Amino acid sequence: MRVNFARLLVINTSTLKVEKDFVFPSKLASPICLNVSGDGSDLFYLEGGVRKMSINASALPQTPYIAEQGTYFYKLGINPVNDDIFLTDAVDYQQQGFVLRYNAGGVLLSKLRAGIIPGMVCFKMNED
């Protein structure tokens, strides 16, 4: 029986050809909440913590950029203006969770209480 693991593909939008094919090492290793930095140079996703990889990378990142360390990262958002990293922590799915904000360098800036199972992270941009 053939087992298909999660994959990330880099597709040339001019030719529609696959230029890179990153295969994750197991069924449990699957990226979720894919986000791109404001300038489009880095890809972020959740997989055992926050993973960060350059769009020019030749391999998947081996270690988390931000480790979970006693939290459960549920959703991820990247501020397109300053690349701050916003994460939600669902705690135990029964009590109020948290929103954690990290700077682009991965340093925790703030932790705020949220509702139960905090989900999507959105950004409202000013036109000026």
pLDDT in tens, 61-110: 999 999 998 899 999 999 999 999 999 999 999 999 999 999 999 999 99
Query: Which tokens sit at 109?
Result: 């800036």
Q: CB within 8 A of 69, min separation 6: which ones? A: none
The verdict on pTM exceeding 0.95 is no
pLDDT of residue 3: 64
CATH ID of 7-116, from 2.40.50.140, 3.40.50.10490, 3.40.50.20, 2.130.10.10: 2.130.10.10
